[in-house]
Amino acid sequence: MPMFNSREEYEKWKAERDRRMKEIYKKDIRSQDLLEEAMSQIKAKKDAEKEAKTESAYSGDMYMCQGANCGYIYSSDTEDEKGGIAPGTGFEDLPDSWKCPKCGAGKGLFKNLE
Ligand SMILES: [Zn+2]
């Protein structure tokens, strides 16, 4: 504690010290808020990733061709370039004219594997 020539000086020093303490304390609170915000953002991101994973697993429904000796499996992850089907296309979204690229069977011959 510094030496003071008068009580006034001491009060001034004390006020300044309190002000600094408050500033430091406020800063602490702010960094705590930032930390919590960052944590909740990380959690939200993780939740979104988890949801996206579940979603892609769901859209990955698999359908198997029941054509004789075929066994071709269509899933939305399948890219059927010859048939002009973009990856991510669900079986239900395939055009009715779509045929099994292996044996040429129609959509009606496919069975949902789930
Ligand atoms: Zn087939």
Pair (89, 102) in one structural domain: yes
Conformational region of residue 4, where left means phi above 0, alpha means psi within -120 to 50, and beta covers everything else: beta
Beta-bridge partner residues of 55: none
What local confidence, expressed as pLDDT, does residue 66 receive? 96
Pair (47, 70) in one structural domain: no
Residue 54 Cα, ligand 1 centroid: separation in angstroms? 28
What local confidence, expressed as pLDDT, does residue 65 receive? 96
Taking the model in full, what pTM does it have?
A: 0.46
In this predicted structure, the answer to whether residue 92 has a pLDDT above a threshold of 80 is: yes
Residue 91 Cα, ligand 1 centroid: separation in angstroms? 14
Residue 109 Cα, ligand 1 centroid: separation in angstroms? 8
Average confidence score pLDDT of the chain = 84
The DSSP line for the chain is ----SSHHHHHHHHHHHHHHHHHHHHHHHHHHHHHHHHHHHHHHHHHHHHHHHHHHHHHT-EEEE-STT---EEETT--BTTTTBPTT--GGGS-TT-B-TTT--BGGGEEE--
Residue 47 Cα, ligand 1 centroid: separation in angstroms? 38
pLDDT top residue among 94 and 30: 94
Pair (72, 85) in one structural domain: yes
64 vs 56: CA distance, rounded Å: 19
Question: To 10 degrees, the CA torsion angle through 40, 46, 51, 53?
Answer: 170
Number of structural domains the chain divides into: 2
Residue 99 Cα, ligand 1 centroid: separation in angstroms? 8
Pair (40, 65) in one structural domain: no
Pair (66, 104) in one structural domain: yes
- Supply the range of the domain harboring residue 10: 1-59
Average pLDDT value for residue range 53-80:
78
Residues 20-37: tens digit of each pLDDT: 888 887 777 777 788 888
In this predicted structure, the answer to whether residue 62 has a pLDDT above a threshold of 60 is: yes
